[in-house]
Amino acid sequence: MNGEVTKSSPWDVFINLLAVIALYISVYSAIRLLFQFINLALPDPLDLQNFYYAQSDSRDPIRYAVSMLIVFFPVYWWAWSSIESDLAANSAKRRLWIRTCPIYLTLFLAGLMALGDLACLIYYFMSGDLTSRFVLKVVAVLLVAGAVLFFYRDALRREPGPLPVAIRAFAYTTAALSAAMVIYGFILAGPPTRAHLAHLGTPIVGDFKYGGDTAKGMGELEDRLHLHARSIDIAHPDSGRLRVTAQLPPHMVHAWRLFGFDAESTIDPFADERRK
């Protein structure tokens, strides 16, 4: 009977392979997202690609990493929870090859990643090219690799059953941090409307984040959105009309003067163009 219990079923193969694949994609996405956060926080003008990300702000790497993390981290969480529940009900599956082999492979790759990360840190230190941005990326990789090593080393040593408090707290903390990264990624990626307008070749004036050079005009516009509700004219509930006019903000007054428009006029200078 025990021989039958310890045999791998198709479900065991499926759930363990799904867990390890979802884990690898989640780890890759998390590291890529952390790298983009660092690139945007500490842009390097000498690195043209990252400088472009930080200034004209192509946010595709962030959108891609966030999308992958949203899909694959919950899948990993579900697969891991299913494996733990199965082990609690049938402890003999603890030594199944389909469970232990992916864990050893994961520990090997995580350890290799951490060692390679430290080797890069030493190399750049010795070559004099060590920057705060690079150090932060090294720390990010070490934290992710260390988390994987800690979690799966415990998985090999721990007997099946209720999760220890430390492991449960670690799992929920990791989930909370992943959610925070996704939320922050959404904030950095910005609203899709601005990205769509830039993609169509008609970015909002002054939207350097998405529009790049197209939104800069001749280079004299400020890096601020030129959007403004100039006036409102509605029927008053009692009688007559309710008209309210808001002054242009300083950066738009500057732009209006560059365009040759009267900043004090409430007439829409683009009304004729929209009627065409």
Rounded-to-integer distance, Cα 164 and Cα 92, Å: 19
pLDDT: is 10 or 1 the higher one? 10
Q: Based on the fold, state whether residues 104 and 81 are members of the same structural domain.
A: yes
Q: Is residue 195 part of a domain?
A: no
Q: Based on the fold, state whether residues 151 and 236 are members of the same structural domain.
A: no
Q: Based on the fold, state whether residues 80 and 128 are members of the same structural domain.
A: yes
Q: Is residue 133 part of a domain?
A: yes
Q: Based on the fold, state whether residues 83 and 179 are members of the same structural domain.
A: yes
Q: Look at residue 272 in the predicted model and tell me its pLDDT.
A: 63
Q: Look at residue 248 in the predicted model and tell me its pLDDT.
A: 81
Q: Look at residue 55 in the predicted model and tell me its pLDDT.
A: 43
Per-residue pLDDT of 166-205, as tens digits, reads 989 999 999 999 999 999 998 887 667 776 777 677 777 7
Q: Based on the fold, state whether residues 8 and 140 are members of the same structural domain.
A: yes
Per-residue pLDDT of 107-149, as tens digits, reads 999 999 999 999 999 998 888 878 888 999 999 999 999 999 9
Q: Look at residue 276 in the predicted model and tell me its pLDDT.
A: 56
Q: Is residue 53 part of a domain?
A: yes
Q: Look at residue 2 in the predicted model and tell me its pLDDT.
A: 44
Q: What is the 3-state secondary structure (H, E, C) of 189-215?
A: HCCHHHHHHHHCCCCCCCCHHHHHHHH
* Token digits of residue 10: 């198709």
Average pLDDT over residues 11-40: 93
Q: Look at residue 1 in the predicted model and tell me its pLDDT.
A: 40
DSSP three-state, residue 91:
helix
Average pLDDT over residues 13-17: 93
Q: Look at residue 210 in the predicted model and tell me its pLDDT.
A: 66
Q: Based on the fold, state whether residues 12 and 143 are members of the same structural domain.
A: yes
Q: Which of 7-11, 120-124, 258-262 has the lowest mean pLDDT?
A: 258-262
Contact 45, 37 (CB under 8 A): no
Q: Which of 52-66, 112-126, 151-165 has the lowest mean pLDDT?
A: 52-66
Residue 264 has pLDDT above 60, yes or no: yes
Average pLDDT over residues 6-12: 83
Q: Is residue 129 part of a domain?
A: yes
Which residue has 């469970």 as its token pair? 99
pLDDT: is 18 or 215 the higher one? 18
Domain count along the chain: 2
Q: Look at residue 54 in the predicted model and tell me its pLDDT.
A: 47
Q: Based on the fold, state whether residues 59 and 159 are members of the same structural domain.
A: yes
Q: Look at residue 160 in the predicted model and tell me its pLDDT.
A: 78
Domain with 158 in it: 2-190
